[in-house]
Structure 1
């Protein structure tokens, strides 16, 4: 973030604090339960994951040639691997012979990937290097035997894809010039992956994103954990086309803002939360980044897969540094998993029961209102309406 934007954002927050308010929508919003957890809507939302650019992993998850992660998004098995040429590729994790997985480990480093069914073998670029009975498959060329490749791009420390082979991918255009420039400033803190995991949770994928889209709950849900570190229900908000930025205000902000203007600094007195439509949350946390990715479980509107990665500028080299990052990881998972996600599971059960017809979003929950409006418009656009 450039200095002009930083000063403008600090002025905006100071004004909100002075007026005792937060960023507001014009009116209260309402979203029906069927549009939140209904099976028809959930089925339609699958298109959000194949029509648009998505984050698949931090680039730091595969730093060296041969490093890979095997993943799955909306039922599509993926193999994200760095080739000998240093390029990160997103491949369909499916043998071109009969469709069996060519890699069943979640991560690691390999020179080749070999299908256990008939031993077709692939290199780090996804090219088929070995077919046991070449006579039996005479006439097949490289295009027939190489792993299916999805478009891929590394940008801002993240690996992006579109889950449509042959599709165009332009991440800068997808983000827009302002957001693209802003995210570029955080790339140094994505160089090293400290920890990452993917976990299943019993709530709709959208509720995972919603966890980060309002600050009203900080003083209540997190009262005994991190609530005192932040000023609840005060947040600056910016809407980019589809994407969002929320500014979480720390309790140290007012004292800093009272000082000379030339000495003011947004960091470490705020945390920035970016929602990258439709399913990724990118959190700038003082000296590290959190990347959250929420994907629906195919056929189950009440379940999702949550990917979490914590990245830092450099690998911790001392025991003290490792303890520091482990404390960050433990606090994040204990608070978000144990408090936020437990609450989302409660909401999921309530709405799935059919007893509550809709949810109300207040004027102070502007990001949530925009998000559900954007999802609805994206689905209507996909239908040609």
Structure 2
């Protein structure tokens, strides 16, 4: 993050600390339990937020080389992004045109073609059908152009890859990012290196998990046995970018900045800078890595979490491997073992029918914005 932007944010935070306060929303938010438990609400979100709207599929570094691919999910639609031999990135509905088998899984590098594992139908990296082995002209009456992989939409900016499942119409990234790309450019995400990832599944609504990333109010209690001793509960600050936002979690050493001249203020080394990219992605910058969390709803009460760690330089030495292995384990232990487990319990409480709402206080403004913005996107 550019120094002048860091200094502006630090001034705000130090002023709030002097006032013994934090940034406050105008009013608390009473959020109905149905927001997390309604199957009708979930179906609407799947269509409007995850199929009709662009979502982050991966970072550009994940598909930098020809043949590189990442397979993901957009509102229940399997979709894959593939870098062609021509350097162009293409998104496809990740379903074979023969018998609807999933074609690609996970991530990897292809050798000049895409081959379905069911009957061996073979597609070029541009999605064009190339071969139907041993078919004995069983499909000769069908125009092969009609049997190419269905296209989705794709776009790249600021080191992020976006996809949309519902159509191949061009993605309007200005409307999607609403200016947050100006800040993301400061981090030069395309220069990072993928280290490792962790995929897990949790019995709760995806919005419950996201809620925990957008406020530090819970840290002193929920994380009392892990990271609470390192972090402040307040102050905190945030800024909106349309439905997206930036949020800060501060380490206790942040307060040392008040005794330093402004030209020595370094916000990046004093906490976590988090960007939420609607509807389901968190980019979390800590001192020596970026953690990208993607939350993929499977049902109203089940969410798959994909976490990937990226590093500013290749991890080559044994010491660096050990450091980043422990970093990933810390994310698993704190986010998974504390935050996500807590949300599973809350999901059961809300599903009981006895709890009609949750309440976000004025001291949780980023979480309030998150819910308010998603409702606006659904209209």
Same fold (TM over 0.5): yes
1:189, CA displacement in angstroms? 6.9
Give the conservation status (yes or no) of the 8 Å contact 1:189–1:288: no
Q: Which residue of 2 aligns with 1:155?
A: 157
- Residue range with higher mean Cα deviation, 162-171 or 321-330: 162-171
Gap regions ≥5 residues in structure 1: 381-385
Q: Which residue of 1 aligns with 2:322?
A: 323
Cα distance in 2, alignment partners of residues 362 and 219 from structure 1: 16
Give the conservation status (yes or no) of the 8 Å contact 2:196–2:308: yes
The answer to whether structure 1 residue 20 and structure 2 residue 20 are counterparts is yes
1:240, CA displacement in angstroms? 1.6
1:202, CA displacement in angstroms? 0.6
1:141, CA displacement in angstroms? 4.6
The answer to whether structure 1 residue 227 and structure 2 residue 217 are counterparts is no
Q: Which residue of 2 aligns with 1:337?
A: 336
1:366, CA displacement in angstroms? 0.9
Distance verdict in 2 for CA 1:147–1:279, change over 3 Å? same
Q: Deviations over 1:250-302 (max 9, x none)?
A: 111111222112222222013211111111111111121111111211xx311
Give the conservation status (yes or no) of the 8 Å contact 1:215–1:234: no
Give the conservation status (yes or no) of the 8 Å contact 1:361–1:369: yes
Give the conservation status (yes or no) of the 8 Å contact 1:88–1:159: no
Distance verdict in 2 for CA 1:134–1:58, change over 3 Å? farther
Gap regions ≥5 residues in structure 2: none
Q: Which residue of 2 aligns with 1:383?
A: none
Q: Deviations over 1:179-221 (max 9, x none)?
A: 1110111124762110123221111011121110101011111
SS of match in other structure, 2:217: coil
Aligned length: 376
Q: Which residue of 1 aligns with 2:358?
A: 359
Cα distance in 2, alignment partners of residues 379 and 233 from structure 1: 32
Distance verdict in 2 for CA 1:74–1:173, change over 3 Å? closer
Q: Which residue of 1 aligns with 2:170?
A: 168
SS of match in other structure, 1:203: coil
The answer to whether structure 1 residue 375 and structure 2 residue 377 are counterparts is no
1:222, CA displacement in angstroms? 0.9
Q: Which residue of 1 aligns with 2:268?
A: 267
Give the conservation status (yes or no) of the 8 Å contact 1:24–1:366: yes
Q: Which residue of 1 aligns with 2:99?
A: 98
Q: With structure 2 as the length reference, what TM-score do the two structures score? A: 0.94
Taking only aligned residues, the RMSD between alpha carbons, in angstroms, comes to 1.8
Q: Which residue of 2 aligns with 1:10?
A: 10
